[in-house]
Structure 1
Amino acid sequence: MYVYINGQFAKKEEVMISPFDHGFLYGLGVFETFRIYNGHPFLLDDHLERLNAGMKTLNIDAAFSREEVLKILKELLAKNRYKHAYIRLNVSAGNGEIGLQTESYTEPNVIVFPKPLSPPVEMAEKMAVLLDIKRNTPEGGERLKSHHYLNNVLAKREIGNAPDMEGVFLTQEGFLSEGIVSNIFWYKDGILFTPAIETGILNGITRRFVIALAREAGLTVREGFYKQEEAEAADEIFLTNSIQEIVPVTSFSGTDYPGKEGRIVKALYKHYEAHRETLWSRIQLGGIVND
């Protein structure tokens, strides 16, 4: 497998970074994961928008355009002979002296990792379980998709490696927040609910896109602070993730749900499926933006 690193393409076994990289020493790095569908990087503009904002927060003096990243992706896909792929675009602060740095990082390490994926066939269902470990609070004003993943790793250890299970965090105050690698939604009485970003969750790209899809379809969407009992009373529950797409939930806290047979999740997935080989941004959905 070939990866991209700092302007070059190399076999994965040959890729190296310095131990003086502040992404390694202090966790100063951000990343985006997204899918390539038949050569198209779905919602790439939205991912780059979030990546560029995260780099600004970390004082990394860099920004990526669609054209720049597309050039990398096209060559990377060609070298690996992939048409459908998982992509991780990773930016770490770059090399520095040992010690905390206040000046801007001007030479970040940029690595793009691909993995082959099969063309999607249908939604994959999961069971959702409440985690004992609580969601930590963001390191700054809002949660970045950053290298700080210990809370997620500890949560994953709690539930194990079962591929059909996702753990759901509560905040320290007892409000629903998000999954280990997903955002959570539920439908009840004509309304689609999801925790607000003020709970400290990652404002997922697929989360934003699904909110836009739902509103475009005429659904009422409410973001707020909710207790687990409110989700448990739902007609349908599903998770969202840029790689796994829309994931229907079959059980949560001992209650069964219709999973992929749910009316709302089937309708949303149909719209999602229709757009994934063409859209660059959620903004293209009738101009609806959810920030």
Structure 2
Amino acid sequence: MMRVWQDGRIIAPEDAHVAITDRGLLLGDGLFETMAVCRGKVCDLEAHLARLNAGLDILGFARSVDIPKLRADIAQYLAAEGAVSAVLRVTLTRGAGPRGLAPPEAPHPTILMTLSQMPPKREAPVSLRIATVTRRNEHSPLSRIKSLPYLDNVLALSEARAQGADDALMLNTRGAIACASAANLFIIRDGRLETPPIGDGALPGTIRALVLSMAKQAGLAPVETSLAISSLGAADHVFLTNSLSPLTEAGQCNGMPLQRRAGAARDKLCSMLMTHFEEG
């Protein structure tokens, strides 16, 4: 494993430690971003930093994190480790604090960064399972940020895997589709590219935003709209997006096959994403 970054130091993984009073450890009081590194640079770094900063603002300690310095630290870390193609995870906690829920008035955030190998590219469509053990709370501000408590997603994915599926689809409190365990969901239907709105509990994914911006060039009308489970069966194509697997087709849900009739539009989106990253 590559060395890790902790609070300004690049050290061996076994030498990285957080305080027993760290609020990220005790309360999940923090955020993370997972990013793809291509040709030694983070893909869509500014979009990731903007989402991170928005999350810090929601949690109330944005002023304690120097985003320009973090940007420079990321570049230094990648250069020091010679990272050409990798997965970068940045984790920020509010840092240590006194016992109880109330946050410290002047937090000193803990910043951790790790690098790992990119996962192999998936060629076969994924199988999905509708999660029943938990639901996405679209009313919570945490549904719009990548906060450290990710246990709803862990439970949903564990349920899907236990039933032989690759990933879980999470519903919100009203029974509408919100997202997959670690990806946004899109369907192509009647010339439209549809995806759940942020208000339905969908995370504002960086690739999600890119795909929506590219839809018209692919001959599709981008639409953010609530999606019922029945929407999957009526779709011409279903796919997932995230930073590490920009566009992954779905082949079935709950054991029922999904249509893959919009391959030309899907291929166009894939091509534009590849071009974006090559030029970025």
TM-score (norm 1): 0.87
Mapped pair 1:229 → 2:230 = yes
Letter in 2 for 1:257: Q
Q: Distance in 2 between matches of 1:139 and 1:51?
A: 20
Q: Distance in 1 between matches of 2:187 and 2:199?
A: 18
Equivalent runs, 1:96-245 vs 2, <5 Å: 96-117=97-118, 125-138=125-138, 140-141=140-141, 143=143, 144-160=145-161, 165-245=166-246
Q: Distance in 2 between matches of 1:43 and 1:100?
A: 34
Moved more, 124-133 or 86-95: 124-133
Letter in 2 for 1:114: L
134 and 27 in structure 1: CA distance in 2 versus 1, 3 angstrom threshold: same
Letter in 2 for 1:72: D
**Higher-helix-fraction structure:** 2
Q: Distance in 2 between matches of 1:125 and 1:44?
A: 28
Q: Distance in 1 between matches of 2:182 and 2:118?
A: 18
Letter in 2 for 1:132: T
The question of whether the paired residues in 2 share the 8 Å contact of 1:42 and 1:277 is answered with: no
190 and 138 in structure 1: CA distance in 2 versus 1, 3 angstrom threshold: closer
Aligned residue in 1 for 2:69: 68
CA shift, 1:150, in A, is 1.3
Aligned residue in 2 for 1:21: 22
163 and 80 in structure 1: CA distance in 2 versus 1, 3 angstrom threshold: farther
Letter in 2 for 1:77: L
CA shift, 1:180, in A, is 0.6
Letter in 1 for 2:203: L
Q: Distance in 2 between matches of 1:31 and 1:137?
A: 19
211 and 267 in structure 1: CA distance in 2 versus 1, 3 angstrom threshold: same
- SS of aligned partner of 2:186: strand
- SS of aligned partner of 2:88: strand
209 and 64 in structure 1: CA distance in 2 versus 1, 3 angstrom threshold: farther
RMSD: 2.4
Q: Distance in 1 between matches of 2:185 and 2:83?
A: 30
CA shift, 1:58, in A, is 1.3
